[in-house]
Amino acid sequence: MKKLTLLLLCLVLLFSISFSKTVTLNYLEVMTSPERTKLLKDMISKYEKENPDIKINLISPPYEQADQKATLMLNTNQKLDIVEIRDYTLKQFVNNGKLEDLSKYFENWKDAEDLTAVAKKAAYTLDNKPYLVPQCIFIKALFVREDVLKQNGINTLPKTIDELIDIAIKITDPSKNQYGFTWRGKSSEFKYSDLFASAEVENIKNEKYIYSTEKEFFNTEDYKRGMEKYIKLFKEAVPKDGVNWGFNEQINSFVSGMTPFLIQDSDAIPLINNLMDENKYTVIPIPEGPHGYTYLDYGFTGVGIPSYSKNKTEAWNFIKWLNSPEQNGYFNEHYGALPVHKSTYENNEHFKNEKYAAYGKEMVSEKYIFKTYPLDSERWPGWSQIHEVDMQNLLLGNTELKRVLKKWEAYWN
């Protein structure tokens, strides 16, 4: 009887230990879409099979509500072990003390050394400490319809911004509905005018931001010259209604062949491939400016651990797996953003494709200096709308460049 009782106690103990070892991690994603959520769920399922003591509960709010959901869950210390963070939300989460400093984890993470320079910048954005592991990088490159260029007698690709402008103007013929450049008139259009204008300003390379309340260059001759070139490009190589073009109009114009040059992020590649023969276009690095380099801004998302999580070790193990070169490459291959490891561009056949290789070249070349915007500035939230209205008035001839540049200078000072 004693032996039977002892055996039962052992079984109960074993069952209890086995049960207690199963850890459930709550993981909130914010860049949600049906396709992306399914991709993540499939990867989570694979991880759970390899790690039967871990269960992961993926929380996927609607995209429009996701950042607010993350803020609410973190600020009220709701059960959360892994949280997706955007470049726009990182500062507030850190300031509120809601993200774990991952320095001690990075010290023993072998793949940290394999991060691209841009991914490292993203990881160490605040206080030179890694509060997230970067997952997706967003930067711009130049999409080119070589078939359209050849039809118009152009057999070379632009190496400089001036060459790009010259070719775009040269092939423009409104009578044939042929224009040279795919304009961005609405929603983040400042990223396009800044690319052209800032390339003329050598001293931006010494600054943290393209412009900020600490330093801006709007009323310098260099910035003014860059803006004049950009306005010339619009007037001589863009249809008039380009002033109202957003992302969809850009894609339609490029796919139709009306405009052979398009500046876009890599996530446009899968979309364009679905709309046209992918052999009819290529992607090349952004042409360089007059000083031999070009400033590129970058965006990113990453994953971090809430400071109050009770499962930090298990959360880190999953994050480390999810962002290994193999898994991160697989994720971005199907999602469309850029991977974060250098080795992915060397080993993953998808990213060795010339279209993605252009982004890889930008991230390792000294011709590209990555700058970002002062996202934590109190002036930032209203900037996009002010810039868009001013640019439209400028392009439509309702105001003068000199007046606009003085207004922008005053805004940031």
Q: Are 198 and 204 in contact (CB under 8 A)?
A: yes
If we measure between CA atoms, which residue out of 76, 122, 119 comes closest to residue 96?
Answer: 76
Q: According to the model, what pLDDT value does residue 255 have?
A: 98
Q: Which SS3 state, helix, strand or coil, does residue 306 take?
A: strand
On the CB side of 251, CA atoms within 13 Å amount to 14
pTM for the model stands at 0.83
Flag the least confident range among 15-19, 54-58, 100-104, 345-349.
15-19
Per-residue confidence band for 144, with pLDDT thresholds at 50, 70 and 90: very high
pLDDT reading at 239 higher than 80? yes
Q: According to the model, what pLDDT value does residue 360 have?
A: 86
Residue 204 to residue 209: CA distance in whole angstroms: 8
The more confidently predicted of residues 308 and 13 is 308
- Average pLDDT value for the chain: 93
Q: Residues 248-303: pLDDT tens digits?
A: 999 999 999 999 999 999 989 988 999 999 999 999 999 999 999 999 999 999 99
Residue 27 to residue 88: CA distance in whole angstroms: 19
Supply the DSSP string of 178-204, one letter for each residue. B-SB----SSSTHHHHHHHHHTT-GGG
Q: According to the model, what pLDDT value does residue 12 have?
A: 52
Flag the least confident range among 98-102, 264-268, 317-321.
264-268
If we measure between CA atoms, which residue out of 297, 299, 302, 298 comes closest to residue 134?
Answer: 302
Per-residue confidence band for 2, with pLDDT thresholds at 50, 70 and 90: low
Q: According to the model, what pLDDT value does residue 6 have?
A: 55
Residue 201 to residue 198: CA distance in whole angstroms: 5
Per-residue confidence band for 11, with pLDDT thresholds at 50, 70 and 90: low
Q: According to the model, what pLDDT value does residue 166 have?
A: 98
If we measure between CA atoms, which residue out of 10, 73, 24 comes closest to residue 53?
Answer: 24
pLDDT reading at 369 higher than 60? yes
Helix crossing, 325-335 with 34-50: angle to 10°? 160
pLDDT reading at 21 higher than 90? no
If we measure between CA atoms, which residue out of 133, 119, 85, 138 comes closest to residue 322?
Answer: 133
CB neighbour class for 392 (10 Å; exposed up to 12, middle 13-18, buried from 19): middle
Q: According to the model, what pLDDT value does residue 176 have?
A: 97
Residue 145 to residue 95: CA distance in whole angstroms: 45
pLDDT reading at 15 higher than 70? no
pLDDT reading at 241 higher than 70? yes
pLDDT reading at 10 higher than 90? no
Q: Residues 32-51: pLDDT tens digits?
A: 989 899 999 999 999 999 99
